[in-house]
Amino acid sequence: MKIIFLISVLFFVSIQVAYSQLNLNADAAVSNVFRYGSGYEYTGNIKSAKEYFENLTDARLIINGVTFGIRLEISDPIEYGLNFKGIRKRFVEYEHESGISLRAGDYWEILSKGLSLNVFEDRPLGYDTGIDGIRIAYEKKFGKKNPVRFKTQILGGNINYSDYITPERIEKYKIRNVYSEVSPVKSLTLGLGYLYSTGELPEEEVNTVVKTDLPEININFNLADFQFYTAYSHKTSLVSPNEIFPDPLTAKGDGLYSSLSYSFSKFGLTFDYKNYRYDITLPDNRSNTRPTRMLPYQNPPTAQKEHTSTLITRNPHVVDFNDEVGGQIDVVYSPNDKLSFNLNGSIASRHYQYEDTDTSSALSYKRIDRNNSFIPSLDDSFSPFWEIFTEGEYYASEKVYVKVAFARQSSLVYNQLNPFSSERISTTTIPVEVKYSLSDLNTLTFIGEQQWANNSIRIGEKTYMNHYLSLTFSRSPNINLTLNTEFTDDKEEPTGKKFWWLTEGSYKINESNTVLVSYGSERGGLRCANGICRFVKPFEGFRLGIQSSF
């Protein structure tokens, strides 16, 4: 693999030199990310050795507007996912001044807000839904006084999606998509798209074929102080008969997302609404691998607050894109340049209740319809979630910055068989952050977080507390040193531990190279990004990262 890497680098450099001698416009860039970890992981209170070694080299060569790209990867062993050695990504891309652009090979894409297509890579979560295929786009403005902007693109390709929870389970999709946007006036944009896919999903060692139609329409209205956006997509899935599905199965679902923002002077207001119904089904039929569910290449907005607080994110609300209605209201107020406030409230729930209509020991669920299913409910049988969050930031002086927040969350997972065993987790969290500038170059940052939690299904004490403390010393522009500690009095903590500590440091050697090192213990738990959540096991040990670019 080292030989392959050296040959590739020499290839890019030699081409750049050759073309520069021919007086052609050529440029090259190489970036490299190295990650190594060695220590132990916890599954409950069981401790097992954990090691990973990953190196990703991305190289680009640009010749007269044509970009050639390649990624060489060594992930053996990988932190999350399947081990890999070789060329992971490669592409060629061209953009012309006429407005035409072409890309062949690997790429990621989001259409509007992602209701019909949003494929991306999140390396820390081991998630990748990238497309291997072709994308052709055209964008142009017509007219001078009141120009009309037009954009259209056609794409197609293959997605090999490795389930980030069970990496050995790989779903294969062939997708075709056409999407267009037109702005007849500057403030208005209309979008229309159609996506078709054929998927092959492994289910109990049986290959399940599902064909999906997914049209979408969206509207974006944007003025100086007022913005409105709405999008609607409709999904039709046809599952071919096999051993698991002996009869042809047709399922329909849809999703609606809207956002309204208004701002003036020192005040800003945003309202987000979601109504995702991509695969509403009976309680005993829900599954993360159902072929009729929202498919991996979709990823609409979560319409809820994304936090940076360590303890608030310990119990995130995992959005159910197949069956969830709700939204959030976010208010920002800045009375002056030194002071600002943020208030956020969010709510979400399932659409319907269900009842067992079979009087015997068998289960036969029936949905209880309701006319206002487009409104979230706080009734326990709807598995509701709600959160209230407020935050204040204050620049006391040129040297002192203070941020204080308050968050109250409640989430319930309803147990249809035994409602009294439903799990309700309630938390109250107060994070505090203080920054003090010792000098123009040196800064101290203190973060303290206190959390009171209650879990209704705990066997013993249901209430417990978590504490998080962090102290960082920064010397601009190249040094960061951090000590993190976390405490809990939770007697049912799965690992049996009550205390975690972690030291972290980063050193920017120069503009091209940065080294990151950490040692200690990490509590683990659910981690979420862009609506994707995975459980990360607790880890203790050593981590090393080196980031380079040339």
Tell me phi and psi for residue 104, to 5 degrees: -125, 135
Pick the residue with more confidence: 322 or 23?
322
Q: What is the mean pLDDT of the chain?
A: 92
pLDDT over 60 (residue 19)? no
Give the DSSP letter of residue 21: H
Domains of the chain: 302-550 (2.40.160)
pLDDT bracket for residue 205 (50, 70, 90): confident
pLDDT over 80 (residue 49)? yes
How far does CA 523 lie from the centroid of its chain?
Answer: 21
The predicted structure's pLDDT at residue 202: 92
pLDDT over 50 (residue 253)? yes
Q: What pairs with residue 141 in β-bridges?
A: 149
The predicted structure's pLDDT at residue 14: 54
Query: Residues 62-87: pLDDT tens digits?
Result: 998 899 999 999 999 999 999 999 99
Give the DSSP letter of residue 538: P
Query: Residues 171-199: pLDDT tens digits?
Result: 999 999 999 999 999 899 999 999 999 99
Pick the residue with more confidence: 173 or 360?
173
pLDDT over 50 (residue 5)? no
pLDDT over 90 (residue 535)? no
Give the three-class secondary structure for 9: helix
The predicted structure's pLDDT at residue 171: 95
pLDDT bracket for residue 16 (50, 70, 90): low
- Note whether 252 and 232 are within 8 A (CB): no
The predicted structure's pLDDT at residue 1: 42
pLDDT over 50 (residue 232)? yes
The predicted structure's pLDDT at residue 17: 53
Segment among 8-17, 216-225, 235-244 with least mean pLDDT: 8-17
The predicted structure's pLDDT at residue 20: 53
With CA atoms as reference, report the closest residue to 192 among 168, 165, 219.
219
- Largest separation between any pair of C-alpha atoms in the chain: 85
Report the distance separating Cα 508 and Cα 66, nearest Å. 32
Length of the chain: 550
With CA atoms as reference, report the closest residue to 415 among 508, 326, 229, 283.
283
Query: Residues 98-143: pLDDT tens digits?
Result: 999 999 999 999 999 999 999 999 988 889 999 999 999 999 998 8
Q: What is the percentage of the chain residues whose pLDDT exceeds 70?
A: 96
In the chain, % helix, strand, coil (3-state, to 5) comes to 5, 60, 30
How far does CA 320 lie from the centroid of its chain?
Answer: 14
Report the distance separating Cα 199 and Cα 376, nearest Å. 32
pLDDT over 60 (residue 12)? no
Tell me phi and psi for residue 413, to 5 degrees: -105, 110
Q: What pairs with residue 275 in β-bridges?
A: 256, 325
